[in-house]
């Protein structure tokens, strides 16, 4: 049985409890982070912590009192659950003042809820999907307008994954006003004539921690990066496509809406970026 963390306590997962009045349960009033673990070490931890702080600030959710201990809490869960490869999921919610109300409860008297748990994923970095690539569909982006905040409102992304599954595919890219925003749980990229193209940062997409690292490594390796809008047609006509996230790292996309991208197999740029990212991020893991 897993050991999980809830509001200061390390508990067996079956004993962990959160109020039915918790704002995340009633209103999706919470934010989260997912940090990967490779070889028992945390990947890009500082980036995830910085984005968590930003998400909390944007929503005026109080920082958990143990914010400065979050690295230790992550490490303790990795240790207690003997995670070699896997994920640490963290969620902070606005908490509960014991009733339901649209108005936020008094932040002086209502403590945020903090929950963390681990997911063991042996062989996370050697996923066979990296060899075959993903088949994706494009769908309308029907999420809210503050996608830069990593909230737990994941119903539409979940529906997107189910739409992909129903179409015999692995994932979906969302499209707004003719341009790809991002994947249901990852950032989206295409490669054309050697250039790596990905949507520029704004409130329309999550500011991926893996995205930031991958673009930095790409530039350091003298690759050309263009941060701009791109269409689904451009993606279908690209030489390569791929996605990035904390759980998938760099993952090639080989088919969009039934049409092969480039050769229809994982391309050299995505493969190279995956290698660089895995090597550099594991060297820097803590």
Give residues in contact with ligand PDD (CB under 6 A). Answer: 34, 182, 185-187, 206, 208-211, 244-247
Q: Are 86 and 96 in contact (CB under 8 A)?
A: no
What is the Cα 143 distance to its own chain's centre? 16
CB of 95 to ligand PDD, least distance (A): 22
43 vs 261, which CB is nearer to ligand PDD? 43
The CA distance from 212 to 5, in Å, is 29
The residues that bridge with 12 in the sheet, in sequence order, are 3
Q: What is the DSSP string of 122-171?
A: TTGGG-THHHH-EEEEEEE--S-S-TTS-BS--HHHHHHHHHHHHTT-SE
Provide the terminal-to-terminal Cα distance of the chain, rounded to the nearest Å. 25
Token pair recorded at residue 23:
């704002």
With contact defined as beta carbons under 8 Å apart, do 191 and 241 qualify?
A: yes
Residue 194, SS3 per DSSP: coil
Whole-number minimum distance, CB 234 to ligand PDD, in Å? 19
Chain-centroid distance of CA 99 in Å reads: 31
Which residue number, 182 or 255, has a Cβ lying nearer to ligand PDD? 182
Q: How far is the CB of 193 from ligand PDD (least distance, A)?
A: 25
Question: In this complex, which beta carbon is closest to ligand PDD, that of residue 93 or of residue 187?
Answer: 187
5 versus 173: smaller Cβ distance to ligand PDD? 173
Cβ neighbourhood burial of 220 (10 Å; 0-12, 13-18, 19+) = exposed
Q: Distance (Å, rounded) from C-alpha 203 to C-alpha 207?
A: 9
150 is catalytic: yes
Report, in Å, the least distance between residue 247 CB and ligand PDD: 5
**Shortest reach from residue 45's CB to ligand PDD, in Å:** 12
Nearer to ligand PDD, 161 or 236 (CB): 161
Compute the Cα dihedral for 95, 98, 103, 109 and give only its sign: negative
**Which is catalytic among the residues 62, 150, 161, 236?**
150
The catalytic site residues sit at 150
């Amino acid at each position: 049985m897993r050991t999980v963390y809830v509001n200061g306590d390390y508990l067996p997962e079956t004993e962990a409890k959160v109020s039915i009045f918790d704002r995340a349960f009633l209103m999706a009033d919470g934010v989260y982070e997912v940090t990967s673990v490779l070889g028992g070490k945390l990947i890009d931890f500082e980036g995830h912590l910085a984005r968590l702080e930003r998400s909390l600030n944007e929503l005026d959710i109080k920082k958990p009192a143990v914010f400065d201990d979050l690295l230790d809490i992550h490490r303790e869960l990795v240790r207690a659950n003997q995670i070699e490869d896997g994920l640490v999921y963290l969620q902070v919610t606005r908490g509960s003042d014991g009733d339901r109300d649209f108005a936020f409860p008094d932040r002086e008297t209502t403590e945020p809820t903090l929950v963390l748990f681990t997911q063991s994923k042996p062989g996370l970095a050697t996923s066979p999907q990296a060899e075959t690539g993903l088949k994706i569909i494009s769908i309308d982006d029907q999420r809210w307008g503050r996608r830069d905040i990593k909230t737990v409102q994941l119903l539409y992304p979940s529906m997107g994954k189910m739409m992909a599954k129903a179409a015999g595919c692995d994932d979906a890219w969302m499209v707004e006003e003719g341009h790809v925003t991002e994947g249901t749980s990852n950032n989206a990229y295409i490669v054309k004539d050697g250039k790596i193209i990905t949507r520029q940062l704004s409130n329309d997409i999550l500011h991926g921690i893996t995205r930031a690292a991958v673009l930095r490594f790409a530039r350091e390796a003298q690759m050309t990066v263009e941060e701009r809008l791109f269409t689904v047609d451009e993606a279908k006509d690209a030489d390569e496509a791929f996605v990035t996230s904390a759980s998938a790292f760099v993952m090639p996309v080989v088919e969009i809406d039934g049409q092969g991208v480039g050769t229809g197999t994982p391309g050299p740029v995505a493969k190279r970026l995956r290698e660089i990212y895995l090597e550099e991020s594991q060297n820097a893991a803590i």
